[in-house]
């Protein structure tokens, strides 16, 4: 079977797709011959019989690898067109252009075999649906994938072998340059650049924090040197936090040659795609680490100490690191450990108090309830640790005071030196721009017109930099930091004999105290002896020494409790009344809290919560036979609450009180309902008429009603609401004997 015989009219009626790809951008720019050969496949498609309008070129994947780790939009478009049956033939210069991994390759083969699509390269035409062609294409895909592996292994092997000797030239950080010999690294010849790097490393030993060092650079308005990888010129910019942090964490500044600090990992993302990422490795897993490879700014021991200090400044992880210094009065923050379970103690502040307390986050189960291992106040503990620290540093206090007096102006001198070097560099740049501007040949106007404008602008910018640097140097020279006088030096030296005054001075911040504690102590183990009512402190100093301190805890005052009868009364009242009414009852009975204060709603609520007394909950429906409040009873009887209060005071109806001063409560009965009606029945007269007919006072009538000698009802309708009295024998005098009157 000839190759042209594989082409059918059905395939000619569809598209001919030319797939163009180069692995890297460098190949696209430099290896143009290969790219041109791939584009010439359009002519080959026309020779096979496809019209020009049906030939399509997909070149979106130029500069992308075919290993399957890169997202190739062009290949995805090709696979989609083949799956839809729009493609009759796929042309590529070779199989490796379509895919370098078998997963993508065999997926394309399956789609082409299903949709009757041909695949063509420089060797011929293939139909994936035919066994022999499928076998050849499969071998080509396997060889393409193996070729990529072999090429990569050869390149990586050569790179690792050269890096193992320290001769592989890679990008160096600012302040270091490559020499002429193999693997030779030199310090940058520019003194300003090296001084700026040394200032970062030296000042970090004093400040101990990358952020504080960065803020010092910003406050002093010092520029920082940066260099584009592969570039020769140094750019002076305002330093960022990243610039400072990179200087502190780069091992090249410690004279070490390092290769393989990161490792490439492959993973599957949320969409199921294979991705790759770089993982930073610890120093013990670096591929190459050669100490003393070149002159450095610091030694390796100092570099490791800086890394430990930086790692300790990060946010603390549980039981892992002491963490960064933070504000607050907790001097033992991050270094205090529980003596029972060895967990790191946490800090807590209660209310508005500025004194910290320490507690253990781990709880042990005892008797079915959780109990904290350690929970103690920090005042006495911190005082004991402070006394031990001051006693330890007392012998070296005089030497420290002398060094502090001599080093007060180091920062100002370092900043002035930096600006003087900046002024020198600015003057050099201005002179260089002037020489370039003056060296333009005036006769060659075609060149002069373009260069004069650019170099004149550069000259003006350089002159402005010189002026700014001169002004800053003059300002610092005119207002230098005053040298210490003899009296000031004597005062500083006298403080060595009174370290407690220095420690307690308002100018000494909590951060300063914590830095001193961490510089001397590695950890403080706190063990609480509840029976002896004391805390045992174990101080572990840097260097291995251990000190033991016993601290007595303050005794708690006797607990003040509310009277038992008051609690019992609140318990009875809470069944019937809310907290506001209970507070009023207690105050009317002249009861007070445990501290002698009158009761309020909040104090009653706190007492209920403490003693577990339920809150009053009004019922949804009035209970039958249950005592009701005056307001509830008035609503049921259809009268005003004041009416019931009057009748209770007059003794006409019955009521009860839980305790003297508590609100009245009334039981609704049929007899009580009968005493309240809308209209007066026959024979019932108002109180005034009853008084006139009986010839007695109102109080006498009410007393007769209470004794049951007269019937009374309350009328709640009409113009004359109120009591109605039933007078059976109006001529009877109340002072006469009823027995004789009846006879």
Q: What are phi and psi of 278, to 5 degrees?
A: -100, 135
- Distance between CA atoms of 585 and 587, rounded to whole angstroms? 5
- Distance between CA atoms of 676 and 638, rounded to whole angstroms? 8
- Distance between CA atoms of 442 and 439, rounded to whole angstroms? 9
Half-sphere exposure of 722 (CA within 13 A, CB side): 10
* Of 675, 647, 645, the residue nearest 663 (C-alpha): 645
Name the β-bridge partners of 547: 539
Residues assigned a catalytic role: 23
DSSP-derived secondary structure for 105-174: HHHHHHHHHHTT-EEEETTEEE-TTSHHHHHHHHHHHHHHHHHHHHHHHHHHHHHHHHHHTT----PPPT
Name the β-bridge partners of 120: 91, 125
- Distance between CA atoms of 703 and 451, rounded to whole angstroms? 125
- Distance between CA atoms of 655 and 716, rounded to whole angstroms? 21
Instruction: State whether residue 561 is helix, strand or coil.
Output: coil
Residue 445's CB is within 10 A of a number of other CB atoms, namely 11
Pairing of strands 87-91, 118-121: parallel
Two tokens at 85? Answer: 């049956």
Contacts from 511-517 at CB under 8 Å and sequence distance 24+? Answer: 511/325, 511/327, 513/331, 513/386, 514/325, 514/331, 514/333, 515/208, 515/325, 516/389, 516/393, 517/331, 517/332, 517/335, 517/385, 517/389
- Distance between CA atoms of 464 and 352, rounded to whole angstroms? 54
Contacts from 208-214 at CB under 8 Å and sequence distance 24+? Answer: 208/309, 208/313, 208/515, 209/313, 209/324, 209/325, 210/241, 210/244, 210/245, 210/248, 210/310, 210/313, 211/241, 213/244, 214/239, 214/240, 214/241, 214/244
* Of 109, 171, 169, 177, the residue nearest 144 (C-alpha): 109
Instruction: State whether residue 567 is helix, strand or coil.
Output: helix
The total number of residues shown for the chain amounts to 743
Contact assessment for residue 18 and residue 35, using Cβ atoms and an 8 Å cutoff: no
Q: What are phi and psi of 62, to 5 degrees?
A: -65, 125
Contact assessment for residue 66 and residue 100, using Cβ atoms and an 8 Å cutoff: yes
Q: Which residue has the tokens 């650019």?
A: 454
Two tokens at 302? Answer: 């100092």
* Span between the terminal Cα atoms of the chain, in Å: 151
- Distance between CA atoms of 628 and 636, rounded to whole angstroms? 10
- Distance between CA atoms of 111 and 410, rounded to whole angstroms? 74
Pairing of strands 521-529, 336-338: parallel
738 CB-near residues (< 8 Å, 6+ apart): 732
């Amino acid at each position: 079977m000839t190759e042209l015989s594989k082409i059918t009219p059905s395939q000619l009626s569809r598209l001919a797709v030319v797939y163009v790809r180069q692995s890297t951008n460098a190949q696209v720019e430099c290896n143009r011959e290969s790219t041109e050969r791939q584009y010439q496949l359009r002519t080959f498609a026309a020779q096979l019989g496809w019209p020009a309008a049906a030939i399509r070129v997909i070149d979106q994947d130029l500069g992308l690898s075919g290993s399957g780790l890169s997202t190739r939009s062009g290949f995805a478009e090709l696979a989609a067109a083949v799956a839809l049956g729009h493609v009759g033939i796929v042309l590529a210069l070779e199989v490796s252009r379509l895919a370098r991994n078998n997963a993508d390759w065999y997926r394309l083969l399956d789609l082409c075999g299903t949709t009757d699509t041909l695949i063509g390269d420089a060797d011929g035409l293939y139909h994936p649906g035919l066994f022999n062609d499928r076998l050849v294409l499969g071998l080509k895909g396997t060889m393409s994938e193996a070729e990529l592996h072999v090429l990569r292994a050869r390149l990586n092997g050569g790179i690792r072998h050269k890096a193992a000797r320290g001769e592989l030239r890679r990008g160096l950080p600012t302040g270091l340059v490559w020499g002429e010999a193999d693997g030779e690294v030199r310090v940058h010849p520019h003194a300003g650049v090296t001084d700026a790097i040394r200032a970062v490393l030296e000042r970090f030993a004093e400040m101990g924090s990358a952020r504080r060092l960065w803020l010092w650079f910003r406050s002093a308005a010092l520029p920082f040197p940066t260099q584009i990888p592969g570039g020769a010129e140094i750019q002076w910019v305002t330093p960022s936090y990243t610039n400072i942090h990179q200087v502190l964490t780069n091992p090249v500044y410690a004279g070490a040659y390092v290769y393989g600090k990161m490792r490439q990992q492959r993973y599957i993302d949320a969409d199921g795609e294979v991705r790759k990422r770089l993982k930073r490795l610890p120093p013990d897993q670096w591929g190459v680490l050669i100490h003393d490879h070149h002159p450095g700014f610091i030694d390796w021991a100092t570099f490791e100490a800086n890394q430990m200090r930086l790692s300790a400044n990060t946010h603390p992880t549980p039981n892992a690191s002491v963490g960064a210094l933070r504000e607050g009065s907790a001097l033992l923050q991050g270094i205090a450990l529980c003596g029972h379970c060895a967990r790191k103690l946490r800090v807590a502040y209660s209310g508005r108090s500025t004194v910290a307390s320490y507690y253990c986050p781990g709880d042990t189960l005892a008797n079915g309830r959780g109990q904290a291992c350690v929970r103690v106040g920090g005042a006495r503990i911190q005082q004991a640790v402070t006394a031990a620290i001051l006693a330890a540093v007392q012998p070296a206090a005089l030497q420290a005071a002398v060094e502090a007096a001599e080093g007060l102006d180091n920062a100002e001198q370092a900043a002035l030196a930096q600006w003087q070097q900046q002024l020198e560099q600015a003057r050099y740049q201005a002179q260089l721009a002037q020489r370039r501007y003056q060296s333009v040949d005036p006769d060659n106007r075609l060149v002069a017109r373009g260069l004069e404008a650019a170099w004149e602008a550069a000259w003006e910018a350089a002159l402005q930099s010189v002026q700014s640097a001169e002004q800053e140097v003059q300002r610092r020279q005119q207002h230098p930091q005053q040298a210490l006088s003899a009296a000031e030096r004597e005062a500083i030296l006298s403080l060595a004999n009174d370290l407690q005054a220095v420690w307690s001075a308002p100018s000494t911040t909590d951060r300063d105290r914590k830095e001193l504690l961490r510089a001397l102590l590695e950890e403080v183990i706190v063990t609480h002896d509840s029976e002896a009512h004391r805390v045992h402190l174990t101080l572990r100093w840097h260097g291995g020494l251990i000190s033991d301190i016993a601290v007595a805890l303050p005794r708690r005052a006797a607990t003040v409790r509310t009277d038992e009868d008051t609690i019992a009364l609140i318990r009875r009242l809470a069944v019937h009344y809310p907290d506001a009414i209970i507070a009023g009852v207690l105050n009317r009975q002249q009861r007070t809290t445990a501290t002698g204060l009158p009761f309020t709603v909040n104090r009653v609520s706190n007492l209920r919560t403490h003693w577990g007394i339920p809150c009053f909950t009004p019922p949804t429906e009035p209970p039958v036979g249950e005592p009701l409040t005056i307001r509830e009873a008035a609503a049921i009887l259809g009268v005003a609450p004041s009416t019931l209060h009057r009748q209770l005071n007059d003794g006409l109806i019955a009521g009860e009180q839980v305790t003297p001063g508590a609100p009245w409560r009334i039981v609704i009965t049929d007899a009580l309902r009968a005493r309240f009606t809308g209209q007066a029945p026959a024979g019932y007269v108002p109180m005034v008429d009853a008084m006139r007919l009986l010839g007695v006072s109102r109080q006498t009538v009410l007393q007769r009603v209470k004794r049951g000698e007269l019937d009374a009802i309350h009328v709640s309708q009409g113009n004359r609401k109120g009591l109605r009295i039933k007078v059976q024998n109006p001529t009877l005098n109340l002072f006469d004997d009823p027995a004789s009157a009846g006879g």
